[in-house]
Amino acid sequence: MAGTGGPVASFSVWDYVVFAGIILGAAGIGLFQAIRGRKETSSAEFLLGGRQMTAVPVAMSLTASFMSGITVIGTPAEAYRFGAAFWLFGFAYAIMSAITAEIFVPLFYRLQITSAYEYLEMRFSRPVRLIGTSMYIVQTALYTGLVIYAPALALNQITGLDLWGVLVATGAVCIVYCTLGGLKAVIWTDVMQMVVMLAGFVAVIARGAVLQGGLSKIWEDARKGGRLEAFNFDPDPLKRHTFWTIVVGGSIMWVSIYSINQSQVQRYISCKTLGHAKMSLYVNMVGLWVTVSLAVFSGLTMYSIYKNCDPLLNGDITTSDQLLPYLVMDILASYPGIPGLFVAAAYSGTLSTVSSSINALVAVTVEDFILPMCKNLTQKQVTWMNMGLSVFYGALCIGMAGVASQMGSILQAALSIFGMISGPLLGLYLLGMFFRTSNSIGGLVGMIIGLVLTLWVGIGGQIYPPTADKTNPLPVSTAGCNNTMNQNYTTTISWTSPVTLTTEPDVRPPLADSWYSLSYVYFSLLGTLTTMVFGLLVSMITGGCKQEKLNSDLFVTKNDFICFSYFSKSKASDNTETKAPADFNMGIDNSGFTGYDVLSNEKEKSTKL
């Protein structure tokens, strides 16, 4: 009986068939794109899809790349344990979409960049660009390792497959279609994987509603269990999730993810017009709303079923991230193939994110490190280099999964990584885009100070996790379990960190209950503000930019804020839909793209402005 604890069924033959079919389908899309585009082997084609993508597939890819296996597995567990407050990120998604579409997209399009970090060299200096790129590589490798670890944990829980065998298989599949198909393969695979992820959530909610007697019963159980008290307006920045931490801190965090993260930038600059690029972000916003809503409601469904028998407290699972896989096998095992669909959903989210990360890591490595040093490479050499780097980064990300396995709750760990590293980087971009007086010395010093502070608070919070009065875990019970040694036991244990605090309070350092307890959602805001404040101060002390003549295209203009004006202007003035004009000509006139000018004399003649 569902919800009473104990062992659950394992994968059936049909589950393996469905799972394998979906994964092979993903790899097949990569092979199809490789065969279809075998005559178009340029780096611009491999890294940017020839800049001919349209809004809807790019939007679905944007959604899928960060709504990964971490979302499929972590968000329902978050809602089960802490309630529906995570749904407030919907407000943050809306703010993020508007800021990214109206400020960052026009700027990057105007500069015709391939690597998001080209801007840092244009605005500041090459050392600043290289440091920014290096920070991105470290962040992405860690995050991708976490993403690989999430579904491997799920598969290990409900199929018994070897954890490291699954990790290696995940990386191998991604390497195959990333290496062969490039960005087009990644985007079109994301489209399929997004559909599979949403289908997995719907299957869980539908079956849960049947078992519990309707969606209204699930909602009522969640209300009685305190899971619907989302609007907490407490201004305390040490509280893990409140309205202010999620909407204010979450908005900055997601802006740092979508506006300057190469994985996302690479997608919207692959669109054939600026209008399509902006539209992709707004469609993506709707996709994020749908995904987080289904994920949170899946968590509420899980609470309704397990409100009287918590699987973790009952010893049926070993970590909160195994909750949803356990539920799937508990309530859906009698429907052959459906558990396979769910695991494929978690796995698809992972494939999407890992492939995106690999493709983006290749792009920044080639653009920021290799081409500026090796300007005489042939087209064939660059193509083989792209493929070789895809294999290298795939292997690196698999190795990072071992590190990620020690970071506790996968959802919080993933967002913390972005906050600690992307926050200072976002501050650097905003410093350059809005303040003409900022210079490279100020930007570099400000970013280093911001990074030191975010790493300090982030690592400190990992070692000394906040206490329950800061995280507000909701009560769970084992009163209804059939096979528990703790009958009628209710607890409010916290699952926010792998570190179990059994020491006396006086062992914790003085900063543990203040500085280290800062909400992880504020990491990005802290890094951004610190970088900007210290960057401006140091810039003013070192003379600002009075001696430099800066290109006005490097700054945000008022025309960038006009939402959809380019839809009407593009056909009339730019003809971007009917021909490939200079400002959408694959970036070959960029300073960061000069390495491609010598790849082919014929190409150079055909694209010369």
Mean pLDDT check: name the lowest of 1-10, 274-283, 564-573. 564-573
Number of domains in the chain: 1
Instruction: Give the number of residues written for the chain.
Output: 609
What is the C-alpha separation between 204 and 299, in angstroms, rounded?
Answer: 10
Q: Are 556 and 467 in contact (CB under 8 A)?
A: no
**Terminal CA-CA length for the chain:** 70
Three-state secondary structure string covering 397-417: HHHHHHHHCCCCCHHHHHHHH
563: pLDDT strictly greater than 60? no
What is the C-alpha separation between 516 and 238, in angstroms, rounded?
Answer: 9
pLDDT digit string, tens, across residues 218-231 = 999 999 999 998 88
Q: How high is the pLDDT of residue 573?
A: 41
pLDDT digit string, tens, across residues 317-366 = 877 878 888 888 888 888 888 888 777 767 766 766 777 777 778 878 88
Burial label for 85, CB within 10 Å (0-12, 13-18, 19+), is buried
Tell me the average pLDDT of the chain.
76
Host domain of residue 62? 13-404+436-441+533-604
Give the pLDDT mean for 38-53: 47
The one-letter code for the residue type at 597 is D
Q: How high is the pLDDT of residue 527?
A: 95
What is the C-alpha separation between 464 and 169, in angstroms, rounded?
Answer: 34
Joined together, the tokens standing for residue 278 give 């902006």
Q: Is residue 126 part of a domain?
A: yes
What is the C-alpha separation between 100 and 259, in angstroms, rounded?
Answer: 5
Res. 131 pLDDT band, cuts 50 70 90? very high
232 against 188, higher pLDDT: 232
Q: Is residue 523 part of a domain?
A: no
Q: Which of 513, 476, 517 is nearest to 496 (CA)?
A: 517
Res. 154 pLDDT band, cuts 50 70 90? low
Which residues, 6 or more positions from 571, have their beta carbon under 8 angstroms from its beta carbon?
577, 578
Share of the chain above pLDDT 70, in %: 72
Give the pLDDT mean for 513-523: 89
157: pLDDT strictly greater than 60? yes
**Residue position matching structure tokens 């990964």:** 68
CA distances to 12, 267, 269, 418, 481 from 48, in Å: 40, 7, 7, 24, 53
Joined together, the tokens standing for residue 592 give 């960061």
pLDDT digit string, tens, across residues 357-377 = 777 788 788 878 888 877 777
DSSP 107-161: HHHHHT-SSTTHHHHHHT-HHHHHHHHHHHHHHHHHHHHHHHHHHHHHHHHHH--
Chain Cα centroid distance, residue 563: 25
Joined together, the tokens standing for residue 419 give 């906050």
**Residue position matching structure tokens 């509420």:** 300
Joined together, the tokens standing for residue 369 give 């490190």
Chain Cα centroid distance, residue 98: 18
Name the percent of the chain in helix, strand, coil, to the closest 5.
70, 0, 25
Q: How high is the pLDDT of residue 604?
A: 38
pLDDT digit string, tens, across residues 58-86 = 777 777 666 667 777 888 999 999 999 99
Q: Which of 2, 60, 315 is nearest to 197 (CA)?
A: 60
Q: Are 167 and 399 in contact (CB under 8 A)?
A: no
Q: Is residue 156 part of a domain?
A: yes
Q: Is residue 571 part of a domain?
A: yes
Q: Which of 350, 407, 403 is nearest to 72 (CA)?
A: 350
What is the C-alpha separation between 332 and 203, in angstroms, rounded?
Answer: 9
Q: Is residue 447 part of a domain?
A: no
Res. 296 pLDDT band, cuts 50 70 90? very high
Q: Which of 366, 359, 368 is nearest to 385 (CA)?
A: 366
DSSP 368-393: IIIHHH-TT--HHHHHHHHHHHHHHH
pLDDT digit string, tens, across residues 394-439 = 778 777 776 666 655 677 777 788 888 999 999 999 999 999 889 9
Q: Is residue 488 part of a domain?
A: no
Q: Is residue 319 part of a domain?
A: yes
CATH number at residue 59: 1.20.1730.10
Which residues, 6 or more positions from 505, have their beta carbon under 8 angstroms from its beta carbon?
none
